[in-house]
């Protein structure tokens, strides 16, 4: 087997991993600030996928152009969800938050099942079958664009948290909610904003994902688990960690699917998770608590 072959598999795995990483980033942002594990994350991602599918079907919109619209809708949804329901669970025990979001996840998933049916739907773009040659690599145009989109959104998110006043306020909330309240920050508003941002980010990841896979409601629980694995592997609350974890999982999935059996690929992700939990429970780039 030529070496180029492996290189190609690795590169396409890493590109898919970037989109996974973006999805996990949304989860990480929500958990890092609101301290609630969003168990409906995969459901929101698949909602983003169907958003892109609908926009492509109705307006012929490219998923990359549909992404901002999807993001806006999911932002509003996340905001309302936090304000209306999740906010009163912030101080409650973990298992109650979990059960609340599980209920919400069930509602979203089955609403999608009722609206769109169980069959998979795909988005056709003019460059669906194009490939791009970079040195020894032969990459799918769709994968390259999805990966590039994920990088752009990630950079924008980093910039927002580092430089904008609101971003700094949100980080202050994450570091010390009480202190943030003392200096006059409106915590409830910032929590709602954060949940909205997390939902928007995962929505964009979903829209980009339609370039790579067909949309099915059944994908949702898989993506929820995948996002969890990535966040834990990368380190809870660490944004670069989520991206790194996503690439690692994308890479290991691609390799396992190629070398062993595609049905074993998620086994590898769980293997990575178990090893990381044992050797470095705080995650690759996480801080020790």
The footprint of another protein (CB under 8 A) covers 37, 85, 88, 92, 94-96, 98-100, 102-107, 109-114, 117-118, 217, 221, 225, 228-229, 232, 263-264, 266-267, 270-271, 273-274, 277-278, 281
Min CB(114)–another protein separation in Å: 5
Q: Which is nearer to another protein, 156 or 264 (CB)?
A: 264
Secondary structure of residue 220 in the 3-state scheme: helix
Q: Which is nearer to another protein, 107 or 213 (CB)?
A: 107
Q: How far apart are CA 173 and CA 186, in angstroms?
A: 9
Min CB(235)–another protein separation in Å: 11
Of 182, 58, 271, 252, the residue nearest 66 (C-alpha):
58
Min CB(116)–another protein separation in Å: 10
Q: Which is nearer to another protein, 99 or 255 (CB)?
A: 99
Query: Which value, in Å, is the radius of gyration of the alpha carbons in the chain?
Result: 19
Min CB(280)–another protein separation in Å: 9
Q: How far apart are CA 82 and CA 243, in angstroms?
A: 25
In which residue are the tokens 């890092």 written? 32
Q: Which is nearer to another protein, 59 or 85 (CB)?
A: 85
Min CB(109)–another protein separation in Å: 7
DSSP assignment string, 137-163:
EEEEHHHHHHHHHHHHHHHHHHHHHHH
Min CB(173)–another protein separation in Å: 19
DSSP assignment string, 68-92:
HHHHHHHHHHHHHHHHHTGGGGTTS
Min CB(145)–another protein separation in Å: 31
Min CB(37)–another protein separation in Å: 5
Tokens found for residue 102: 């599980």
Q: How far apart are CA 209 and CA 203, in angstroms?
A: 10
Q: How far apart are CA 114 and CA 52, in angstroms?
A: 18
Tokens found for residue 89: 């669970």
**Residue 226 near residue 22 (C-beta atoms within 8 A):** no
Q: Which is nearer to another protein, 152 or 277 (CB)?
A: 277
Q: Which is nearer to another protein, 63 or 235 (CB)?
A: 235
Q: Which is nearer to another protein, 37 or 61 (CB)?
A: 37
Q: How many CB atoms lie within 10 A of CB 117?
A: 11
Of 105, 88, 84, the residue nearest 96 (C-alpha):
88
Q: Which is nearer to another protein, 114 or 183 (CB)?
A: 114
């Amino acid at each position: 087997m030529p070496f180029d072959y492996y290189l190609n598999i690795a590169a396409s795995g890493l590109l898919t991993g970037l989109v996974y990483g973006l999805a996990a980033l949304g989860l990480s942002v929500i958990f890092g600030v609101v301290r609630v594990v969003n168990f409906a994350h995969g459901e929101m991602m698949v909602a983003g996928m169907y958003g892109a599918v609908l926009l492509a079907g109705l307006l012929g919109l490219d998923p990359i152009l549909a992404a901002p619209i999807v993001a806006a809708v999911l932002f509003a949804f996340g905001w309302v969800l936090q304000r209306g329901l999740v906010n009163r669970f912030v101080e409650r025990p973990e298992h109650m938050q979990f059960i609340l979001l599980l209920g919400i996840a069930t509602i979203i998933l089955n609403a999608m099942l009722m609206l769109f049916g169980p069959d998979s739907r795909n988005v056709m773009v003019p460059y669906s079958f194009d490939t791009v040659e970079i040195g020894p690599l032969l990459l799918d145009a769709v994968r390259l664009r999805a990966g590039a989109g994920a990088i752009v959104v990630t950079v924008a998110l980093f910039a927002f948290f580092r430089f904008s006043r609101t971003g700094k306020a949100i980080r202050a909330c994450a570091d010390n909610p009480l202190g943030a309240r003392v200096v006059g920050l409106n915590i409830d508003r910032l929590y709602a904003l954060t949940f909205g941002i997390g939902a928007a980010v995962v929505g964009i990841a979903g829209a980009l994902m339609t370039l790579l896979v067909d949309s099915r409601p059944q994908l949702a629980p898989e993506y929820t688990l995948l996002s969890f694995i990535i966040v834990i592997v990368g380190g809870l609350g660490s944004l670069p960690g989520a991206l790194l974890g996503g690439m690692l999982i994308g890479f290991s999935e691609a390799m396992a699917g190629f070398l062993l059996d595609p049905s074993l690929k998620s086994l590898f992700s769980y293997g990575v998770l178990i090893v990381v939990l044992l050797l470095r429970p705080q995650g690759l780039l996480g801080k020790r608590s």
